Structure 1
Amino acid sequence: MSIAVVGSVNMDVVARVPRIPGPGETLLATGSSRGGGGKGANQVVGAARAGGADAAFIGAVGDDPDGRQLRAWLEADGIDVSGLATAAEPSGVALISVDDDAENAIVVVAGANGALTSLNDAQRGIVAAADTVAAQLEVPVELVEAAADARGDGALFVLNAAPSEPLTSPDVAERVLDKVDVLIVNEHELLDIAGVADQSEAVDLLAARVPALVVTLGAVGSIIALGPERAQVPAFPVTPVDTTGAGDTFCGVFAAHLGRGPLDLDALVAAARAGAAASAIAVTRPGAQPAVPTAAEVAALLASP
């Protein structure tokens, strides 16, 4: 099983705080850390580490210490970074506050993540060789479309529509959703893209536009929609420490476990259960990429009573 993830990579700068500060308020942090982040990079680490896939990453970093460190961290997980470009812009940075209830507030400076709008020949070859291609919307939409167009015959294109803002434009949504095999959204992104306020109606609307839909609902679990078929996948109950990157972990592991089509409800549910197990473990640890579990840990949780 091979997967190519096209997306963002950031240096996460995390401050632990008693609570998320309000406007104009200054709080003293109880600790700080730096680690690998960005939706794309988090997902490829999830795919490689917890999903057990041969993984490649396509994105961009700056020619700076953060960029070199981010590249080295991905390489340490055995991820092919030959498609990770070096841009003139500085590497992306995410400024994250995590409170005592494990909630977070995040400000992202995109930097080099906005520099890549198309694939070169080498990157196109990486995408074409993958069984599954995954992307998010923290990079230009043009790059997402290029990745979908470059995938090989029979390969699945999985889009995590986060952030959802680009797909709130009908023109962009029509252009992008036509290329999607599996769309993954959270409950807020679901409503944004569907343009309605009712969750059930939104699921029906989006399920009619894409072959398969996954709606993540945090501690509630996820909803799988395949045409008219529906399934509910429960979450694994845990006490969270840090929810940063939990959704990305789910997406990366889900995509890696899905493999090459055809799509059916059993395969989608099994992949979602693996993603749920991985994200449950991840939220019990601090950080985004540092918190991603191994495939053995995920298997153990899936096998537990």
Structure 2
Amino acid sequence: MLPELSLATMSKSSLQPFDILEPAEIASILDKLSMASVAVVGDFCLDVYWTIDPSASEDSVETGLRTQPVRQQRYSPGGAGNVVANLVALGAHRIYPVGVLGEDPFGRELRRLLEHPSVDQRGLISQVEGWATHSYVKPYVDSRELNRIDHGNFNRLSADTQREFFERLEEIVEKVSVVLINHQVIGSIHDDEGFRGALREVMERHPSVCFVVDSRKYHEAYTSAVHKLNEAEVMRSCGISLEPGDVVPVEELAQRAGELYARWGAPLVVTRGDRGCFVFSSDVVWQIFGVQLPGRIDPVGAGDTFVATLAAILSSGVNIAAAAFVANVAAAVTAQKLFQTGTASPGEVLALGANADFYYNPELSESPHRARYLDGTEIEVITEPSAALNIRYAIFDHDGTISTLREGWEQIMEPMMIKAVLGEHFRDAEAATFHRAQYRVREFIERTTGIQTIAQMHGLVDLIREFGLVPEESLLTPAEYKAIYNTDLQTLVDRRLEKLDRGELEISDFTIKGAVPFLYALKQAGVRLYLASGTDEADVKIEAARLGYADVFDGGIYGSIGQITKDAKRMVIERILQEVGGAFEQLVAFGDGPVEIRETNRRGSYAVGIASDEKRRFGTNLDKRPRLVRAGAHAIIPDFSQWEALWSFLRLGNLGGR
């Protein structure tokens, strides 16, 4: 008997954050995929891409109309076919597509595309009359998609075809541990009420087989299955229609999904794009965090990847929450593959899962009015410190957390990157092209703030290739682009240091309010301090010394050494946890960028975000707050002006005071 999760009782507070799986755990789950056996019952489609080139057009002799010459054509599996392609990419042992195709060229091409040693096509049957293979022809002119041409909308399943279909399905169900039911098109096999009833009977006859349903409108027909739905499908199943672009508040979504869970009496997985997913199972509602991606994304096909991964992992006997976690990462892999209906391999899933930037508290990040503050302070409390907190080690980011010497670096990086993207067209680029480059650069800087500069320059090279305005032979290396940026930025820093040397400005003019006294108080209390920055290590050491606080960092000062795989912040956190035997309750990190916050949170230690206004050196920068919340900050402060209240909040008095 499932617990009652009514609208009155189901709320955001009922959601339990699912622990992030370690790389070894993800690898262990992925290793099991080689034993997975899955049947895919559904709408097998062919996606057709035609590139139209009007340069070879002529007047048709028959009609007098201009022809539409196709320069290039490309075909790929769609619908349930793409689910099969994803199962192949994941390395599933045996895959049984079960569906109906037309006796037509598109059907033959789809069969060819699905050929693979692990794919057994005995369940793909053809209907000669009254059925056209679901095909979606997408003509393109100059990368602009014209009206789509659809085949299969008028399909009707014959009695003979339906009988043969279920004979094949009965044979196949005996060979698998999971059956994935797919529905997503007009003219579907599921449109026939008799078909739906017969499929329910198959489910009833095989209670030991796990059925997973991913359907746009037929979840009610298969209530005993595991249900995978998106936000719109949840609301539609509750009789509520959404307009494009509508965002459902998390509280309402959780309530509505809880209503479906109680009504259907079966597990639910509710996907939310980059916000992750919910899993309703047994008496727990798990919240699985989304994955933040630094570059452009294309969500086409990500849902197919998610459900294919979920089904394959369930076939291997893994619990549904862990399966959904890995499926969520796999979907993020596919979302990074532009202009294609992508798939995800185990290697790609493991690589992203091992270093994923998870998306915490999405609603809170977008809603400053929801913030909760420590009484009488500007300290925003997202998660209270645990009773075990006993701080003996502290990591500080540098730029924007303590120092403002590099304030305005974004204004230097932005024009430098725009020039690199536009190349020789920088002066004469059309306004639309310039603004598109400016938008993409700003978006990229926002997404990558806090990571090593060399990593940002690797991303810049990808951005330059995306625009295609700079010949490949003219591309510089990431290190060369970094040198250009560093030269421009260092000019600004040197000018500020000269004013400091001349006595025109003071150290307090280049430090966040209260930061230096807080550092010395921590030092006096016996806390071991570390400075970790994404800036080059030599520059960090020089600047900390010039500003007079290098001596407090008895744990060391660390920065970028020019190797993208060796992030200073990640390495310092790992080193500290090794020193203390993994005693995460002894570590706190302070930073204004997502990297140090994310890495600290991921390891179970306490993370304090600094939403600093670097121009004023005190007060809140509302642009920083969302990314700190998303990165997993447990508390957020604008500066260190209330450091004594922060001291008490973090229970630093337990160390003997100042």
After TM superposition, is the score higher than 0.5?
yes
Q: Distance in 2 between matches of 1:38 and 1:60?
A: 14
Which residue of the partner structure matches residue 232 of structure 2?
188
Which residue of the partner structure matches residue 91 of structure 1?
133
Q: Distance in 2 between matches of 1:97 and 1:199?
A: 37
Q: TM-score, normalization: structure 2? A: 0.38
Q: Distance in 1 between matches of 2:91 and 2:276?
A: 19
- In structure 2, the residue corresponding to 1:82 is in which secondary structure? helix
Deviations 1:89-128 (A, max 9, x none): 2211124589xxxx9x977533597535453423320123
- In structure 2, the residue corresponding to 1:251 is in which secondary structure? helix
- In structure 2, the residue corresponding to 1:154 is in which secondary structure? coil
Deviations 1:32-61 (A, max 9, x none): 753323321121222232263421100121
Q: Does 1:131 align with 2:177?
A: yes
Which residue of the partner structure matches residue 339 of structure 2?
286
Q: 1:188 to 1:64 in 2, by over 3 A?
A: same
TM superposition outliers: structure 1 runs of 4+ over 6 Å? none
Q: 1:42 to 1:215 in 2, by over 3 A?
A: same
Q: Does 1:203 align with 2:245?
A: no
Alpha-carbon contact 1:61-1:112 (below 8 Å) kept? no
Q: Distance in 2 between matches of 1:227 and 1:217?
A: 21
Alpha-carbon contact 2:50-2:74 (below 8 Å) kept? no
Larger radius of gyration: 2
| 1:225 equivalent among 272, 276, 280 | 280
For structure 1, which segment, 45-54 or 125-134, has the greater mean C-alpha deviation from structure 2 after superposition? 45-54
**Count of matched residue pairs:** 279
For structure 1, which segment, 213-222 or 7-16, has the greater mean C-alpha deviation from structure 2 after superposition? 7-16
Seq. identity, %: 25
Alpha-carbon contact 1:196-1:202 (below 8 Å) kept? no
Q: Distance in 2 between matches of 1:41 and 1:215?
A: 22
Which residue of the partner structure matches residue 303 of structure 1?
354
Alpha-carbon contact 1:2-1:131 (below 8 Å) kept? yes
Q: Does 1:157 align with 2:211?
A: yes
Q: Distance in 2 between matches of 1:56 and 1:158?
A: 15
Q: 1:50 to 1:237 in 2, by over 3 A?
A: farther
- In structure 2, the residue corresponding to 1:146 is in which secondary structure? helix
For structure 1, which segment, 34-43 or 2-11, has the greater mean C-alpha deviation from structure 2 after superposition? 34-43
- In structure 1, the residue corresponding to 2:115 is in which secondary structure? helix
The AA in structure 1 aligned to 2:320 is L
Which residue of the partner structure matches residue 69 of structure 1?
109
Q: 1:112 to 1:156 in 2, by over 3 A?
A: farther
For structure 1, which segment, 141-150 or 51-60, has the greater mean C-alpha deviation from structure 2 after superposition? 141-150
Q: 1:96 to 1:145 in 2, by over 3 A?
A: farther
Alpha-carbon contact 2:41-2:179 (below 8 Å) kept? yes
Alpha-carbon contact 2:136-2:151 (below 8 Å) kept? yes
Shift of 1:86: 1.2
More helix per residue: 1 or 2?
A: 2
- In structure 1, the residue corresponding to 2:285 is in which secondary structure? strand
Q: Distance in 1 between matches of 2:77 and 2:197?
A: 23
Residue correspondence of structure 1 range 1-305 to structure 2 within 5 A = 1-14=36-49, 34-50=74-90, 52-76=92-116, 78-88=118-128, 89-96=131-138, 108-110=150-152, 114-115=156-157, 117=162, 119-138=165-184, 139-141=188-190, 142-151=194-203, 152-161=206-215, 163-164=216-217, 166-167=218-219, 173=220, 176-180=221-225, 182-196=226-240, 198-208=252-262, 209-238=264-293, 239-259=295-315, 267-283=319-335, 284-288=337-341, 291-304=342-355
The AA in structure 2 aligned to 1:160 is D
| Alignment RMSD (CA, Å) | 3.5
Q: Which runs of 5+ in 2 are unaligned?
A: 1-35, 52-67, 242-251, 357-658
Q: Distance in 2 between matches of 1:112 and 1:120?
A: 22
Q: Which runs of 5+ in 1 are unaligned?
A: 17-27, 168-172
- In structure 1, the residue corresponding to 2:290 is in which secondary structure? coil
Shift of 1:260: 6.2
Deviations 1:275-304 (A, max 9, x none): 12222121224322xx21222222332233
Alpha-carbon contact 2:45-2:80 (below 8 Å) kept? no
Deviations 1:241-271 (A, max 9, x none): 532221111111111111266xxxx711221
